[in-house]
Every structure is written in C-alpha cells, then in structure tokens.
Structure 1
C-alpha cells in the first residue's frame, strides 16, 4: 500500500478496523517486510526530549512464549496464536537521569549535538525531571514516565498495522515482576537497565469482532 496516497476516510477506516484481537488465526503469518514496517514506525516514534527509552523484543520462540503464559493472564490466547509477539521494554530511572551515560550517549552519538548544545539540553532536562515534573524523588514515577514514552511507539505500531490490514492487541495484563524474572533468566532482559512496559500481539483475526464502542466526540472533546 502506498501510504502517501491514503485519504482521510481510509485512515479512519483503519481506526475502525483496529480492535483488541483476543485470538489470532495461527495459520496466518505476517510477512517479514510487513512486520519490519510495523517495527520501523515504532522506532521512528517521538519521545520526550528525543531520548528513546525503549527496546522492542520480538518473541517468536514458542518455548519462551509458553514460559510467559502463566504470568500473562491478559495474553493467554494471544501468546499461543499471534504471528508476532512484542515486549516493549522501558529504560530504568538511572539510565534516564540527566547525567547518565545513556543520555550523554544519545545526545552525542544519535542527536550529534555539539558540547555546548549537550550541556544546555542536559540542564533543561535536569530541571524538567527535578522541578517541572518532580520525577527524580520517586523511582516508580520516573519509570512510569519512561513507560509513557513507549506508549507513543506502541500506538504508532498498532495504527501502522491496521493501515495494512494487520490485527493487533496491546496488553498490560501480566505480573510485571514474574515476567521480568523469566526474561532475565532467559538472557533477554538486562535488569540493570530495563523493565517491561507493555506487550503487543500482531497477526490476523480468527473471529470478526463486535462493532467499535467509543464515547461520542461531545463527551471527550472540549474547545475553549
């Protein structure tokens, strides 16, 4: 599909098409090129200050999926049937501190800021964390702030999938500590730097869903 040729109605149709798919047709697999497209829309997503606190772990191993199932109550059918299953990890607070090696590396090697620009951005970011949002005093609040960035990528991946006719399901229904323990034991998660934010399954629906239910625009949109 040439995404440049999409009109507004086609985009809205993709939003109508997308639903939280509880069970996928396990016989149907997403092509490599289509899934790379979905992942790329996640990678290219915006994040606060452009610091990209995410990592996308694509779990295709049946063995690993089965180990996750007892602790992922919201993903029972999805783990068993999805063509592709993604764990979205988020950076831990120590990596997201303004003076961390990770933040310095992003500014220097990814954003390619000059030394003066790096120091200016570091000071603004430090004030944001400590004063504007008051995050540094609470590690869980700091982690959840990083997780919020990952949801921007998640939303874009769900939408890009829908635009090319691929179903999806975002999930928070899991035991965070247990899932992280399994991932660490499997050598998938570096617990010094990452925690799990959310999960997402992708594939092709097995059953047709009921119609989409949403509040009306007048209930959720306010003009001032």
Structure 2
C-alpha cells in the first residue's frame, strides 16, 4: 500500500458481497480486501479495512470518488457542485481522466469471482439498492415528521430510533435492501438530527426550512 498514486477504486458489488481494491497508477490491481455486505457504505468499508489510516501513515496520496468524502487528507475526492471554476474544475477534470484506471482494477476481482469461484451476479431484484443522499434525507425527514406528529415537538433523544411503517415498495431502507410495502424501516432519528445540527451551515434553504417547520432546535 506504499506505492504512490494508489486508487481505492471502490467496491466490486456482485449482489451482496463488496470488495475494496487498490490499484497502481497504471490501473493494475495490487490489493483487494475481504468481502463485506454490499449494503456497507464505501467509506465505512474503507475504514473497516484500515485503508485511510494506512495511506496517511505512509504519506501516500490517492484518488477516490465522492463516496469517500471525509476519508482524510491522503484521499483526494472530487469537489461537489455543478458550476465549479478555476482549480476546482481542473481538479475534477483530472480525476475523471484517471477513473477508468480504477475501473480496470475492479475487472480482476470480478473475473475471479465469476470464472474461478463461479459466483454469478445477483438478479436485479436481489441486488442492494444504492441510496442517494436525497433518498436518505427524504427517509429521515419522514421519520422526523412522524415523530413530530405524534409528540408535538422535535426534541428527540440522541439514542431514539423511529419505526416507519408502510414504506413504499422498492424504497431502500437504511440496510440498503429494497423494503416491501408493509415492511417497517428503523431510522436512527436522534443520531441523524444530531449530525444535521453539526453540518447546519451546509444545508440547503429548503432542507433547513423543512426542519424549521417541525420546530428544529439548532
């Protein structure tokens, strides 16, 4: 892991299993992790395998995608936003040019899983649903609205969890799988609200207004 220019290309998801891989600047696979459940977030998986800490310890810089935000100073990720200018725009453009190298590294473990171990890709209905940030916001906001409607306030204890019933078919629950029409989804509402307060300055006006309407205490 001490080779310069490593790319933690992400995870090779063939249904439930997910792998983290490291590639050299030429896109050659040099390390692959043990498998984790496909629902595990990329950054969580990387930290579980000790990748960010190892890179930082050896002062190795690498490129990664947006899923690795906050992975640490050793991991370079693209800037968010559509109207970037100057060096931020160049940074994202340079990263996009080498993304194919990371994808090339993923091809090796995929080939081994399919052709050596005989593991076939899961059917579409069996695959974990990749949740977007908007999906997760909507799910957590719905939990907050349910709590407010029941309790009349939004003073949620830090460890409180909210149970959402009647989730729409195909909705991704926190575990990453498709929730059935009658399935109860558990939302760690207290933890989510605490995290939202910590990044309040980065919320959109609409998201802040949605919580203000529920009496959010900032």
Q: What's the TM-score once normalised by structure 1's chain length?
A: 0.23
Name the structure where helix makes up a greater proportion of residues: 1
Higher relative contact order (CA 8 A, sep 6+): 1
Q: What's the TM-score once normalised by structure 2's chain length?
A: 0.24
